[in-house]
């Protein structure tokens, strides 16, 4: 059985719609299929390869969660600790949010305003590409939005949750987030092509993304505004994402009971993952998604780490927009799901 037939069809359709590149990695036990369509960048027309790196905006949050859970395992923090115990700056910025716990942040029930939309709306493209932000600056952008103080009882994804967790990690480890994730996640999972972005152009080979500015195409591969971000700052490859999820689901990064507690947490799972019983009958999978600007990525992995699908798409150039999901992203998600179901 050809593993990636659905993805190859999607890749061709995406190219016809103007997507610069689609890359994917599918694995079913010892079988695997890597593929790529399109080009690395529109300037040189160099052919895209499945080993080329991409922004995985949002899909890196489970990697951050691993480092948080390792602190829990070590007894340095408890999930139900108020954030302010470990990060007093949090309450200084959000004085009415003192009930928010680490569990709330990991489970997307803090209710914190999302800093990302106002960041995009308030900065021009030059500022987004060249101005580095601190965790505190990201939180203060969010604090400028008026919302009733949380936590909340419903799922409310907010990039701000992860910036708080990134800041907390740096405080507890007394180290930079890049170093923390390298030690806790990238090295033990064998993710040799994954790193936290720093200021400046990302190191090649990188899939280049583009936006439109006044109708003109602009390379938007460099985005210093999210360099170092715990929500959006990780650059990886489709194969490395699958390596991470296989290591996570099989107890190679955190203890098996810790992982079970994350995926079975109620009312919502912890760590930016979505458990699903709707892929294969009698078998649970997890889904991880990310995207922003010209990049989108999605992964589905079985809990035994044996069946995996990860796709990254560089979207057709368009005006920078964080409020609408492009139809091509929904097509990608459907192709990923159909590919995973073929391996049942």
* CATH number assigned to the domain comprising residue 129: 3.40.710.10
Average pLDDT, the chain: 96
* CA distance linking residue 133 with residue 120, whole number of Å: 13
Domain count, the chain: 1
For 233-332, strand residue ranges (E) read 234-236, 274-280, 283-292, 295-302, 307-314
Domain that includes residue 306, residue range: 5-342
How do residues 187-245 score in pLDDT, each as one tens digit?
Answer: 999 999 999 999 999 999 999 999 999 999 999 999 999 999 999 999 999 999 999 99
The CA distance from 58 to 333, in Å, is 15
pTM: 0.96
Average pLDDT over residues 271-292: 94
Is residue 109's pLDDT more than 70?
Answer: yes
Confidence of residue 45 (pLDDT cuts 50, 70, 90): confident
Distance of alpha carbon 327 from alpha carbon 186, whole angstroms? 32
- The structure tokens listed for 44 are 């040189």
Would you put residue 157 in left (φ > 0), alpha (ψ -120 to 50) or beta? beta
Q: What is the mean pLDDT of residues 293-320?
A: 96
Residue from 122, 108, 116 nearest 139 by CA: 116
- pLDDT of 183 strictly over 70: yes
Residue of higher predicted confidence among 189 and 325: 189
pLDDT for residue 3: 86
* pLDDT band per the 50, 70, 90 thresholds, residue 1: low
Q: Mean per-residue pLDDT for 314-341?
A: 93
pLDDT number for residue 321:
81
Mean of pLDDT values over 81-109: 97
């Amino acid at each position: 059985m050809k593993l990636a037939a659905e993805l190859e069809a999607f890749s061709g359709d995406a190219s016809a719609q103007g997507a610069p590149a689609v890359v994917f990695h599918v694995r079913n036990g010892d079988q695997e299929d890597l593929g790529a369509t399109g080009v690395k960048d529109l300037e040189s027309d160099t052919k895209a390869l499945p080993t080329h790196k991409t922004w995985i905006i949002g899909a890196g949050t489970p990697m951050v969660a691993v480092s948080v859970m390792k602190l829990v395992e070590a007894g340095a923090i408890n999930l139900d600790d108020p954030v302010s115990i470990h990060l007093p700056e949090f309450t200084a910025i959000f004085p009415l949010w003192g009930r928010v716990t680490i569990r709330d942040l990991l489970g997307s029930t803090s209710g914190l305003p999302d800093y990302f939309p106002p960041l995009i709306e308030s900065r021009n493209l030059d500022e987004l590409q060249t101005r580095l932000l601190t965790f505190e600056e990201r939180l203060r952008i969010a604090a400028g939005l008026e919302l009733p103080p949380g936590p909340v009882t419903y799922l409310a994804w907010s990039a701000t949750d992860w910036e708080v967790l990134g800041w907390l990690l740096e405080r507890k480890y007394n180290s930079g987030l890049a170093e923390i994730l390298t030690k806790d996640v990238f090295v033990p999972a064998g993710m040799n092509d994954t790193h936290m972005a720093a200021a400046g152009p990302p190191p090649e080979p990188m899939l280049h993304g583009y936006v439109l500015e006044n109708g003109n195409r602009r390379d938007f591969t460099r985005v210093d505004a999210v360099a170092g971000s715990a929500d959006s700052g990780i650059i990886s490859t489709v194969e490395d994402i699958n390596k991470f999820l296989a290591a996570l689901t099989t107890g190679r990064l955190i203890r098996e009971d810790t992982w079970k507690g994350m995926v079975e947490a109620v009312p919502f799972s912890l760590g930016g993952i979505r458990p699903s019983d709707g892929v294969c009958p009698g078998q649970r999978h997890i889904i991880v998604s990310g995207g922003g600007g010209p990049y989108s990525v999605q992964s589905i992995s079985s809990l035994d780490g044996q069946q995996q699908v990860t796709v990254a798409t560089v979207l057709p150039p368009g005006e920078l927009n964080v409020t609408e999901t492009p139809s091509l992203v929904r097509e990608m998600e459907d192709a990923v799901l159909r590919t995973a179901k073929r391996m049942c």
